[in-house]
Amino acid sequence: MEAALLEPVINTVTELDSLFKPKSIAIIGASQKELSIGNVIIKNLVHYGYTGAIYPINPKMSEIRGIKAYTSIFEVEGDIDLAHVIVPAPSVPQVIEDCGKKGIKAVIINSAGFSEMGDEGIALQKKFLAIAKEYGVRIFGPNCQGIINTDPEYRAYCDFTFTFPKPGNISIVALSGGVGAFIMQSLFDLDTGMRLYASNGNACDVSISDVIRYYGDDEDTRVIILYTEGLSNPLEFMDVVKEVTKKKPVLAMKSGRTVEGAKAAASHTGALAGVDISTELIFEKIGILSFHNEEELCQVAIAFANQPIPQGNRVGIITNTGGPAVIATDELVNAGLQLPALSERAKEILHKTQLPEATIGNPIDVVATGGGIHFRSALDVLMEEDDIDSIFINFVTAPFTDTDEVARNIVEVSQMKKKPVICNFMTNMSLERFQVTSRILKDGGVPCYSFPTTAAKALGALYRYGKTRARNIGEANNFKDIDHNKAEVIMHQAVKDGKPYLSADRVYELLNAYGIPVADWWLANDIEEAMSAANGMGYPVVLKAESTEIVHKSDVGGVAINLKNAIDVAEAASRMVNVFGSKNLKFFVQKFMPGGKELIAGVSVKPGLGHLIMFGLGGVYVEVLKDVVFKIAPVTKVEAGEMLSSIKAAKLLDGVRGEKGINRDMAIEIIQRVSQLVTDFPVITEMDMNPIIALNDKLFVVDARMKIS
Amino acid sequence: MEAALLEPVINTVTELDSLFKPKSIAIIGASQKELSIGNVIIKNLVHYGYTGAIYPINPKMSEIRGIKAYTSIFEVEGDIDLAHVIVPAPSVPQVIEDCGKKGIKAVIINSAGFSEMGDEGIALQKKFLAIAKEYGVRIFGPNCQGIINTDPEYRAYCDFTFTFPKPGNISIVALSGGVGAFIMQSLFDLDTGMRLYASNGNACDVSISDVIRYYGDDEDTRVIILYTEGLSNPLEFMDVVKEVTKKKPVLAMKSGRTVEGAKAAASHTGALAGVDISTELIFEKIGILSFHNEEELCQVAIAFANQPIPQGNRVGIITNTGGPAVIATDELVNAGLQLPALSERAKEILHKTQLPEATIGNPIDVVATGGGIHFRSALDVLMEEDDIDSIFINFVTAPFTDTDEVARNIVEVSQMKKKPVICNFMTNMSLERFQVTSRILKDGGVPCYSFPTTAAKALGALYRYGKTRARNIGEANNFKDIDHNKAEVIMHQAVKDGKPYLSADRVYELLNAYGIPVADWWLANDIEEAMSAANGMGYPVVLKAESTEIVHKSDVGGVAINLKNAIDVAEAASRMVNVFGSKNLKFFVQKFMPGGKELIAGVSVKPGLGHLIMFGLGGVYVEVLKDVVFKIAPVTKVEAGEMLSSIKAAKLLDGVRGEKGINRDMAIEIIQRVSQLVTDFPVITEMDMNPIIALNDKLFVVDARMKIS
Task: State yes or no: pLDDT of A274 exceeds 80.
Answer: no
Under DSSP, is residue A709 helix (H, G, I), strand (E, B) or coil? coil
Average pLDDT over residues A50-57: 98
Q: What is the pLDDT of residues A3-36, one digit of tens each?
A: 334 443 443 446 799 999 999 999 999 999 988 9
Of the candidates A201, A229, A173, A270, which has an alpha carbon nearest to the alpha carbon of residue B365?
A270
The pLDDT, as a whole number, for residue B232 is 86
The pLDDT, as a whole number, for residue B552 is 59
Q: What is the pLDDT of residues B649-680, one digit of tens each?
A: 898 898 877 778 999 999 999 999 999 999 99
Helices B664-680 and B637-646, interaxial angle, to 10°?
A: 120
- Partner-chain residue, chosen from B330, B427, B625, that has the shortest CB–CB distance to A256: B330
Ordered strands of the A521-524 beta sheet: A521-524, A586-591, A541-546, A559-563
Task: State yes or no: pLDDT of B59 exceeds 60.
Answer: yes
- Partner-chain residue, chosen from A182, A317, A623, that has the shortest CB–CB distance to B426: A182
Task: State yes or no: pLDDT of A548 exceeds 60.
Answer: yes
- Partner-chain residue, chosen from A265, A338, A656, that has the shortest CB–CB distance to B623: A656
Give residue A206's Cα distance to chain centre. 20
Closest-CA distance, B582 to chain A, in angstroms, reads: 30
Of the candidates A145, A173, A196, which has an alpha carbon nearest to the alpha carbon of residue A253?
A173
Average pLDDT over residues A588-613: 90
Q: Give the helix/strand (H/E) hosting A138.
A: strand A138-140
Task: State yes or no: pLDDT of A435 exceeds 50.
Answer: yes
CA separation for the pair B26, B24 (Å, rounded): 7
Segment B67-74 long-range contacts (CB within 8 Å, at least 24 positions apart): B67/B42, B69/B30, B70/B26, B72/B98, B73/B26, B73/B28, B73/B98, B73/B99, B73/B102, B73/B104, B74/B98, B74/B101, B74/B102
CA separation for the pair A55, A72 (Å, rounded): 10
Give residue B397's Cα distance to chain centre. 38
Q: What is the pLDDT of residues A119-154, one digit of tens each?
A: 899 999 999 999 999 999 999 999 999 999 999 999
Judged by a CB distance cut-off of 8 A, whether residue A33 touches chain B is no
The pLDDT, as a whole number, for residue B275 is 58
Closest-CA distance, B183 to chain A, in angstroms, reads: 9
CA separation for the pair B91, A118 (Å, rounded): 83
Q: Mean of the per-residue pLDDT values for chain A?
A: 92
The Cβ of residue B682 has, within 10 Å, a number of other Cβ atoms equal to 12
Average pLDDT over residues A555-575: 89
Q: What is the pLDDT of residues B243-266, one digit of tens each?
A: 999 999 999 999 999 888 888 887
The Cβ of residue B661 has, within 10 Å, a number of other Cβ atoms equal to 14
DSSP state of B447: -
Torsional class of A297: left (φ above 0), alpha (ψ -120 to 50), beta (otherwise):
alpha
Domains and CATH numbers, chain B: 3-304 (3.40.50.720), 308-470 (3.40.50.261), 520-592 (3.30.1490.20), 597-708 (3.30.470.20)
Judged by a CB distance cut-off of 8 A, whether residue A620 touches chain B is yes
Strand partners, A423: A393, A448
- Tell me chain B's radius of gyration from C-alpha atoms: 32
CA separation for the pair B485, B495 (Å, rounded): 15
Judged by a CB distance cut-off of 8 A, whether residue B579 touches chain A is no
* Residues 6 or more apart whose Cβ sits within 8 Å of residue B442: B191, B448
CA separation for the pair A578, A558 (Å, rounded): 11
Task: State yes or no: pLDDT of B2 exceeds 50.
Answer: no
**Length of chain B (residues):** 709
Judged by a CB distance cut-off of 8 A, whether residue A117 touches chain B is no
Alpha-carbon dihedral sign for residues A619, A625, A626, A631: negative
Counted across chains A and B, CB pairs separated by less than 8 A come out at 240
List the single residue in B with minimal CA-CA distance to A165.
Answer: B428
Q: What is the pLDDT of residues A69-125, one digit of tens each?
A: 999 999 999 999 999 999 999 999 999 999 999 999 999 999 999 988 888 999 999
Burial A169-207 (b: 16+ CB within 10 A, else e): bbbbbbbbbbbbbbbbbbbbebebbbbbbbbbbbbbbbb
Q: Please state, in angstroms and as integers, the Cα–Cα distance from residue A446 to each residue in A273, A312, A391, A441, B179, following that order.
A: 41, 20, 11, 5, 22
CA separation for the pair B595, B128 (Å, rounded): 65
The pLDDT, as a whole number, for residue B1 is 36
Average pLDDT over residues A189-213: 95
Q: What is the pLDDT of residues B562-612, one digit of tens each?
A: 999 999 999 999 999 988 888 888 999 998 887 788 999 999 998 889 999
The pLDDT, as a whole number, for residue B9 is 40
A391 neighbors A316 (Cβ within 8 angstroms): yes
| Interface subset of B 253-292, CB within 8 angstroms of A | 253, 255-261, 263-265, 267-269, 292
Average pLDDT over residues B196-217: 96
CA separation for the pair B244, B237 (Å, rounded): 11
Q: Which chain B residues are within 8 Å of A266, Cβ to Cβ?
A: none
Tell me which of B299, B330, B647, B690 to substitute to probe the interface with A (most A C-beta atoms closer than 10 Å): B330
Judged by a CB distance cut-off of 8 A, whether residue B619 touches chain A is yes
Q: What is the pLDDT of residues A525-545, one digit of tens each?
A: 999 999 999 999 999 999 988
The pLDDT, as a whole number, for residue A9 is 40
List the single residue in A with minimal CA-CA distance to B401.
Answer: A35
Parallel, antiparallel, or unpaired: how do β-strands A82-85 and A289-291 relate? unpaired
List the single residue in B with minimal CA-CA distance to A253.
Answer: B327
Task: State yes or no: pLDDT of B492 exceeds 60.
Answer: yes
Distance linking the first and last C-alpha atoms of chain B: 53
The pLDDT, as a whole number, for residue A452 is 98
Burial A473-488 (b: 16+ CB within 10 A, else e): beebbeeeebeeeebe
- Partner-chain residue, chosen from A179, A293, A656, that has the shortest CB–CB distance to B620: A656
Burial class (CB in 10 A: 0-12, 13-18, 19+), B189: middle
Tell me which of B227, B257, B327 to substitute to probe the interface with A (most A C-beta atoms closer than 10 Å): B327
Average pLDDT over residues B688-698: 91
| Interface subset of A 461-520, CB within 8 angstroms of B | none
Q: Which chain B residues are within 8 Å of A35, Cβ to Cβ?
A: 399-400
List the single residue in A with minimal CA-CA distance to B434.
Answer: A162
DSSP state of A428: -
Helices (H) and strands (E) in chain A, counts: 24, 29
CA separation for the pair A237, A251 (Å, rounded): 14
- Partner-chain residue, chosen from B258, B264, B399, that has the shortest CB–CB distance to A162: B399
Closest-CA distance, B179 to chain A, in angstroms, reads: 6
A79 neighbors A103 (Cβ within 8 angstroms): yes
Q: Which chain B residues are within 8 Å of A227, Cβ to Cβ?
A: 323
Judged by a CB distance cut-off of 8 A, whether residue A369 touches chain B is no
B189 neighbors A450 (Cβ within 8 angstroms): yes
AA identity, residue B366: V
CA separation for the pair B467, B49 (Å, rounded): 41
* Residues 6 or more apart whose Cβ sits within 8 Å of residue A425: A395, A397, A438, A441, A448, A449, A450
Q: What is the pLDDT of residues A634-682, one digit of tens each?
A: 999 999 999 999 998 898 898 877 778 999 999 999 999 999 999 999 9
- Determine if the peptide bond prior to B634 is cis (ω within 30°): yes
Under DSSP, is residue A56 helix (H, G, I), strand (E, B) or coil? strand
The Cβ of residue A306 has, within 10 Å, a number of other Cβ atoms equal to 27
CA separation for the pair A141, A111 (Å, rounded): 8
Tell me which of A187, A315, A330, A453 to substitute to probe the interface with B (most B C-beta atoms closer than 10 Å): A330
Query: Cβ B264–A363 below 8 Å, yes or no?
Result: yes
Tell me which of B48, B114, B163, B182 to substitute to probe the interface with A (most A C-beta atoms closer than 10 Å): B182
B364 neighbors B341 (Cβ within 8 angstroms): no
The Cβ of residue B8 has, within 10 Å, a number of other Cβ atoms equal to 8
CA separation for the pair A363, A317 (Å, rounded): 4
CA separation for the pair A226, A196 (Å, rounded): 12
CA separation for the pair A230, A210 (Å, rounded): 16
List the single residue in A with minimal CA-CA distance to B259.
Answer: A330
Task: State yes or no: pLDDT of B4 exceeds 60.
Answer: no
Q: Which chain A residues are within 8 Å of B229, Cβ to Cβ?
A: 323, 326
Under DSSP, is residue A277 helix (H, G, I), strand (E, B) or coil? coil
Task: State yes or no: pLDDT of B495 exceeds 90.
Answer: yes
Q: What angle do CA B316, B322, B324 make, to 5 degrees?
A: 75
Task: State yes or no: pLDDT of A555 exceeds 80.
Answer: no
**Length of chain A (residues):** 709
The pLDDT, as a whole number, for residue B660 is 84
**Sequence-ordered strand ranges (E) for A427-500:** 448-449
Query: Cβ B361–A426 below 8 Å, yes or no?
Result: no
Strand partners, B364: B318
Query: Cβ A334–B258 below 8 Å, yes or no?
Result: yes
Average pLDDT over residues A484-493: 96
List the single residue in B with minimal CA-CA distance to A321.
Answer: B178
The pLDDT, as a whole number, for residue B625 is 81
Tell me which of A182, A318, A554 to substitute to probe the interface with B (most B C-beta atoms closer than 10 Å): A182
Q: Mean of the per-residue pLDDT values for chain B?
A: 92
CA separation for the pair B54, B156 (Å, rounded): 10
B175 neighbors B208 (Cβ within 8 angstroms): yes
Of the candidates B678, B674, B675, which has an alpha carbon nearest to the alpha carbon of residue B699?
B674
CA separation for the pair B355, B375 (Å, rounded): 11
Task: State yes or no: pLDDT of B158 exceeds 90.
Answer: yes
